[in-house]
Structure 1
Amino acid sequence: MAFALLALVAGCTTAAPPESVLAVPAQPQRYAAIVVDGKTGKQLFEVNSTAQRYPASLTKMMTLYLLFEALESGRVSKETQIPVSDHAASQPPTKLRFRRGETIDVDSAIRAMVVKSANDVAVAVGEYLGGGSEDQFAAMMTAKARQLGMTSTNFRNACGLPDDGQVTTARDMAVLGMALRNRFPQHFHYFSESDFMFRGRLVRGHNDMLGRVRGVDGIKTGYIRASGYNIVTSYSADGRQLIVVVMGAESARQRNDHVEALIQRSLSPMAADTKTRLMYAGQQPTGSPLPGLPEPGLPAQ
């Protein structure tokens, strides 16, 4: 049975209004959430945001981050063909069902990871960027996480399939979401796509938040049995930017309901102006003299 959690904004000591009471899953040890102002890094809400969780396909956000870096450095172009190995082709669904020896261009690979959450494509990209080794690529992913200030994240594969050592936090996923949006604005449009054409057929996506709430423009969903239903959502409208992370929901519907409720609450006048700030390494918050990351265990003030 689910229990009710009063969604208290950090720094607010009064009870939340009835509409902001969220039904937390029956396994609250899996649940985590955070809302961050994307411009200032102000933490507007959090529950278990520094507790380690399984990222599932949120992992592909880091695979995409490193692919975007490769695009910007000129290592690859959108026309570069990524080969599919036996290992990549053998990944379980969700996937595009490539066979060994086939290739996919980078532009289609990005869409396949964002929209379809294709595991075979993510592993193929990881092997390509990792010099033929997904293990090497996972080490690159973890190193990049540390550079960004994701202090509690470890990657073991490129796609997010179950691995006991592949863990993250809602806080770290918010950091990655902000970094993707702010460092790669020229590529962020991919995260707004809900479908794409591939080999003559329409491939539909999993992110039902697109089109549900005005201003939502990405980013990524994820699910494995051990994690529950995860999502990182970007909101940008009327001069406001938010990054909302929900992890461990019992269903896609519950996950989406929580995201919508957290967006509405964070946009309300009662949302607290906290001193706690969350930013990727090097980010300069708008209108603030306080750059840098808070300590991962820093309590809301």
Structure 2
Amino acid sequence: MENCWSCRGPPSPRYGTSAARSLRPLWSGARLAAALIASGATPRIIRTQINQLDSIQVCKESAIPAPRPFLRYSPPEIDAQSAISLKAAKGEQEEHELLFDKSSARSLPPASLTKLMTAVVMLDLMPRFGRSLTDYLDIDEADVVGGSGINVKPSDKVVFRDAIANLMLPSSNITANAVARTFGQLLLDVEGNSGTDARERFVVEMNAKAAELEMRQTQFRNPSGQPARGQLTTAADMAKLMLTVARYPEIMACWETPTHVMQVAGPEPREQKISSTVRVINDYDVLGGKTGTLLPDCYNVAILSEAPNGDPLVTVILRAPDQMSLYTDLRCILDAVKRSRDWPRGTPG
């Protein structure tokens, strides 16, 4: 990633003074962030202050509006096999603006990004079956399939609000299986079809939702993202899903803080602290996101963030070779797209 100066700190003299001038906003932002952290500022205050700095500095970088992305900045070189970043449209009359693309139509495993769809389908089905966020999800022995999610176990009960957090933050496979089994069975009962596996019925609903969202190259095989033949997606399709997720306040609320205390009821009642797997969740411009990992070399992430003027951005990276590359790639993309165009002044979020 020789071209990704923003991830390496100040450039050496061999890059010249023009390169140094182009990176001054990043250095200023780092100094401001350090000062705010030292003063005990909250993540929201830090995000607002740095977005205001970005809005001033980025909009001053050129007096000539950029007619297309990356007119003044070369797109970063990344190690991941596929990625996309776009500015989300603010209204029905607007179109999403593509800011970065690397093989975004390439089919790759979604891993635990699958749970974004699991949560969306669950929230769509809850009112149909009279369920609320304060009702309980039961964990069953049949749900213990997959290698993560050991913070809940058979006979535990968690309210659906905490179940969403357990899907989005630590990425619990057991919770995903419990959601699929529960709502898949409700679908089977109302349809009068008792001979089909409940989780399989829920996955049918996931794929129907994917078709509705025009995720044409996506096929789900299970609700958790565990390895399965034919379970594939693309960065472009996952970006469509993230744009949909942003419209669900129940999911967005999970991402407001990197940790959550889940109340577990049942034979062993307890409080269970859970934390986000997204390493950049506290970055000033990151609003939320989800990771997905399949060892040894498939590291995915989908992120909602803010542009310098507060516009919403969606960035998806698929199949980075390791965790360090994943977050280096992500930060390179986020920093580059901010400086790829002139952002209309607005009120940062």
TM-score range with shorter-chain normalisation? 0.7 to 0.9
Counterparts of 2:168 and 2:69, CA distance in 1 = 36
Q: Which amino acid aligns with 1:174?
A: A
Q: Per-residue CA shift, 1:24-54, capped at 9, x if unaligned?
A: 25xxxxx100011112411111111111110
Other structure's SS at 1:24 match: coil
Task: Please list, as runs of the form range in 1=range in 2, the aligned pairs for 1:196-215 lying within 5 A after superposition.
Answer: 196-198=260-262, 199-212=270-283, 214-215=284-285
Task: Please list, as runs of the form range in 1=range in 2, the aligned pairs for 1:59-138 lying within 5 A after superposition.
Answer: 59-73=114-128, 75-99=130-154, 101-131=155-185, 133-138=198-203
Does the 8 Å contact 1:44/1:271 carry over to 2? Answer: no
Q: Over the residues paired in the alignment, what is the CA RMSD in angstroms?
A: 2.7
Counterparts of 2:236 and 2:342, CA distance in 1 = 18
1:58 aligns with 2:113: yes
Identify the residue that residue 239 of structure 1 maps to in structure 2: 310
1:34 aligned residue (81, 84, 88)? 84
Cα shift at 1:62: 0.2
Cα shift at 1:253: 2.1
Other structure's SS at 1:220 match: strand
Q: 1:38 to 1:13 in 2, by over 3 A?
A: closer
Cα shift at 1:166: 0.9
Counterparts of 2:149 and 2:320, CA distance in 1 = 19
Cα shift at 1:239: 2.6
Cα shift at 1:60: 0.1
Q: 1:179 to 1:32 in 2, by over 3 A?
A: same
Counterparts of 1:176 and 1:44, CA distance in 2 = 17
Other structure's SS at 1:242 match: strand
Identify the residue that residue 161 of structure 1 maps to in structure 2: 226
Q: Which amino acid aligns with 1:33?
A: A
Counterparts of 2:201 and 2:342, CA distance in 1 = 42
Q: Per-residue CA shift, 1:104-163, capped at 9, x if unaligned?
A: 210110111111100000100011111171111111101100001111111111100000
Counterparts of 1:70 and 1:248, CA distance in 2 = 31
Counterparts of 2:96 and 2:71, CA distance in 1 = 23
Q: 1:102 to 1:211 in 2, by over 3 A?
A: closer
Q: 1:256 to 1:153 in 2, by over 3 A?
A: same
Cα shift at 1:72: 5.0
Q: 1:44 to 1:233 in 2, by over 3 A?
A: same
1:250 aligns with 2:313: no
Which has a greater percent of helix?
2
Which has a greater percent of strand?
1
Does the 8 Å contact 2:280/2:286 carry over to 1? Answer: yes
Does the 8 Å contact 1:3/1:24 carry over to 2? Answer: no
Q: Which amino acid aligns with 2:231?
A: Q
Cα shift at 1:88: 0.5
Q: Compare CA radii of gyration and give the structure with the larger one.
A: 2
Counterparts of 1:95 and 1:160, CA distance in 2 = 16
2:238 aligned residue (153, 158, 173)? 173
Counterparts of 1:13 and 1:206, CA distance in 2 = 31
Q: Which amino acid aligns with 1:149?
A: E
Structure 2: tracts of 5 or more residues without a match: 5-66, 90-94, 186-196, 263-269, 344-349
Counterparts of 1:51 and 1:81, CA distance in 2 = 39
Q: 1:269 to 1:248 in 2, by over 3 A?
A: closer
Percent identity over the alignment?
23
Counterparts of 1:259 and 1:75, CA distance in 2 = 40
1:188 aligns with 2:241: no
Identify the residue that residue 217 of structure 1 maps to in structure 2: 287
Other structure's SS at 1:143 match: helix
Q: Per-residue CA shift, 1:35-85, capped at 9, x if unaligned?
A: 111124111111111111100000000001012213455631012211222
Cα shift at 1:186: 5.2
Structure 1: tracts of 5 or more residues without a match: 26-30, 273-301
Q: Which amino acid aligns with 1:219?
A: G
Aligned residues: 259
